[in-house]
Amino acid sequence: MNLLSRQPQPASSADEPAVVQPLPDDLAQQFRRTRKLSLDLARHLSDADATIQSMEDASPAKWHLAHTTWFFETFLLRDFCDDHALYDPVYPFLFNSYYEAEGERIARFSRGMLSRPPLDDVLGYRRFVDAAMEALLDRADCARLIELGIAHEQQHQELLLTDIKHALSLNPLGPALFESDTLNCTHDSDADGDASGWTEHAGGLVDIGHAGDGFAFDCETPRHRHWLEPFAILRRLITNRQWETFIAAGGYRDPAHWLSDGWAWVCKNSIAAPLYWRDDKAFTLAGYLPRDPDAPVTHISYYEADAYAAWAGARLPTEAEWETAAAGDDPSSGQQLDTACAVHPVQSGGMFGSCWQWTRSAYLPYSGFKPAAGAVGEYNGKFMSGQLVLKGGSCATVRGHLRASYRNFFYPHMRWQFTGLRLARDI
């Protein structure tokens, strides 16, 4: 039932970045570390920063901080503590996300209208729930839900970073959330080598999906057999330099490379480059910085990834191919979130980290899939329509959160997440 593998360390001061270190198999430590990291990620936000909502797909940072707290109060404190009184009876309406079984809630596109409660009240809500949760952290009957709550909050930590990045990018001042000296722009030496190098796989009958007793989301199950034809997969992620060549070759102007829906999206929205590119710079959580040509291209849609693959004479990998290729890699390797800092992707080698990688596989249930019982069963299964699977995690994914079987999913036009690509081809 282990979700993370980390060691405890003394709490840092408010001015120091929180370093995520390995913890033992101690759920209480995992809970406290996760809850603290959310505060560290948000510590430089003003009340205005934490309230704005840049688009319906994103949520305010203040809402992320409150929603992850509502999750613990609703599914643990309310249901396992007979004497628990809600912090505020209005909060379930304000901070429920999409759980129909939990009743009415504020419309998603209206989350940015919540000027009240202020950020200080949300932080008070977190302190209240954290203190109450101490009574449940060593209860075996709560362990599975606490693990789910930790994994849920880690997902929202990544969303908090990507959502505030999108909001700040719309400010004409190009403001920074973190100082540029917190930006890790050093490429892993393991990523050096031939960018065109391919790894071949013989295919055949493979097993994919989650296996073992460790934590996994229900959508990763059941483990099952899948037939693969022989294929090859690129060892490195596609870079900004390669993407610039695609643009110079007219990649965004030639409909021959694009799916019909993708070309319509390009034309309707005047798409001509990845999100956040401006001249030779890119917007980061440290503001506008010169674009590194050797860094992985990121903030691209599935449509763009598929068009690039077609232009390059290749294709995107399937979910099963990607998982098979990643079977020997350490999911905690690569560039992932270790500190509250200005995350931005670098080449780090291996299949994990840096940026999420689009696959050509639809996000659909595996044969034999059964959602979890109760309201938490709405967590994944209800979204299995019209979305594509992404694999591998990103620079904003908390280290220890990932598995080869992990299934992220977004609609094909979305690109405000740290999304990139690696190529595959048939043999």
The DSSP secondary-structure symbol of 285 reads: B
Confidence of residue 9 (pLDDT cuts 50, 70, 90): very low
Residue 301 has pLDDT above 90, yes or no: yes
- The 10 Å Cβ neighbour count of residue 310 is 18
Cα separation of 401 and 254, whole Å? Answer: 39
The whole-number pLDDT of residue 295 equals 96
pLDDT band at 377 (very low <50, low <70, confident <90, very high): confident
Dump pLDDT digits (tens) for 99-132.
888 889 999 999 999 999 999 999 999 999 999 9
Look at residue 349 in the predicted model and tell me its pLDDT.
82
How far apart, in Å, are the Cα atoms of 359 and each of 74, 189, 390, 391, 420?
35, 26, 6, 7, 10
Confidence category of residue 2, pLDDT binned at 50, 70, 90: very low
> Cα Rg for the chain, rounded, in angstroms?
21
Residue 345: is its pLDDT beyond 70? yes
Of 195-209, 305-319, 350-364, 405-419, which range is least confident? Answer: 195-209
Model confidence at 179: pLDDT above 70: yes
Which pLDDT belongs to residue 379?
Answer: 72
> What was the pLDDT predicted at 7?
28
Helix axes 27-41, 119-133, angle to 10 degrees: 170
Let me know the angle formed at the C-alpha of 416 by 348 and 102, rounded to the nearest 5 degrees.
115
Q: DSSP class of residue 135? A: T
* Statement: residue 378 has pLDDT above 90: no
How many Cβ atoms are within 10 Å of 355's Cβ, its own excluded? 31
Write out the DSSP string of 197-221: -EEEE--EEEEES--SSS---GGG-
pLDDT at res. 25: 54
What pLDDT, on a 0 to 100 scale, did the predictor assign at position 415? 98
For residues 156 and 411, give the distance between their C-alpha atoms in angstroms, rounded to a whole number: 18
pLDDT at 183 (0 to 100): 81
pLDDT value at residue 181 = 83
pLDDT of residue 100: 85
What is the value of pTM for the model shown?
A: 0.91
Token pair in block for residue 381: 């299964």
Give the span between the Cα atoms of 398 and 61, in whole angstroms.
Answer: 17
In angstroms, the CA 102 to CA 98 distance is 8
- Range with lowest mean pLDDT among 56-60, 128-132, 196-200, 419-423: 196-200
Query: What pLDDT sits at residue 339?
Result: 86
Tell whether the model's pLDDT for residue 1 goes beyond 90: no
- Tokens coding 207: 């097993």
Please state, in angstroms and rounded to a whole number, the distance separating the CA atoms of residues 412 and 82. 44
Q: What is the pLDDT of residues 16-46, one digit of tens each?
A: 444 443 334 589 999 999 999 999 999 999 9
* Strand 287-290 relative to strand 231-234, pairing: unpaired
The sign of the CA dihedral 397, 401, 405, 410 is negative
3-state class (DSSP) for residue 389? strand
Question: By mean pLDDT, which of 182-186, 321-325, 329-333 is the weakest?
Answer: 182-186
- Mean pLDDT score of the chain, rounded to an integer? 90
- Has residue 4 got a pLDDT over 50? no
Q: What are the pLDDT digits (tens) for 240-262?
A: 999 999 999 999 999 999 999 99
> Percent of the chain having pLDDT more than 70?
91
Q: Are 408 and 356 in contact (CB under 8 A)?
A: yes
CB 420, CB 297: distance < 8 Å? yes
Which residues have a Cβ under 8 Å from the Cβ of 10 and sit 6 or more positions away? none
Predicted pLDDT of residue 186: 56
DSSP assignment string, 85-123:
--S-TTHHHHH--S-GGG-----GGGGGG---S-HHHHH
Q: What is the pLDDT of residue 188?
A: 56
Q: Coil, strand or helix: which one is 144?
A: helix
Does residue 11 surpass a pLDDT of 60? no
383 burial class (0-12, 13-18, 19+ CB within 10 angstroms)? middle
